[in-house]
Amino acid sequence: MNPYEEYMQGIVQPMRDELVNAGFTELRTPEEVAEHMQESKGTSLIVINSVCGCAAGLARPAVIEAIQQAEYKPDHLTTVFAGQDAEATMQMRGFFEEVPPSSPSIAIWKDGQLAYFIPREQIEDHAMEQVRDHLVGVLDQICAE
């Protein structure tokens, strides 16, 4: 590993840990992504994590609070890290090619298909509470079915 990679790993580890400590499974390789997406049953909440400020101040806190507040919860919590685990992120985005890539973003995958997608545009420049409440509403609708 070169010095730049080492430096970046140190910077992003707390960003990874924030979701992992909240119960998310990190998918770091294309194989891990493919296995989860093809074999998981039920509903997956997928966070495409990022180093940007809107991920730190909005997306991650909103997702963590939404999971706590939603009456109906997804069966699986997963995350990929855009810009860090590029191949895993590309593999994940391949499962919902109908939406343009953005990070951070939040996807809900249910029974083998994309059920809902919240792109960066619906996260950035919104209050954390708005993003959280949006996701709570979506989870309660999709996961209740």
- Active-site residue, selected from the candidate residues 52, 55, 59, 135: 52
CB 44 within 8 A of CB 109: yes
Q: Which residue has the tokens 């999971």?
A: 67
Pair 27, 33: CB distance under 8 Å: yes
Annotated active-site residue 143? The verdict is no
- For strand 76-81 and strand 25-26, is the pairing parallel, antiparallel, or unpaired? parallel
CA distance linking residue 26 with residue 16, whole number of Å: 8
CA distance 114 to 98: 9
Alpha carbon distance 78, 61 (integer Å): 15
Query: Is 54 among the catalytic positions?
Result: yes
Choosing from 15, 54, 58, 64, which is the catalytic residue? 54
Q: What residues are annotated to the active site?
A: 52, 54
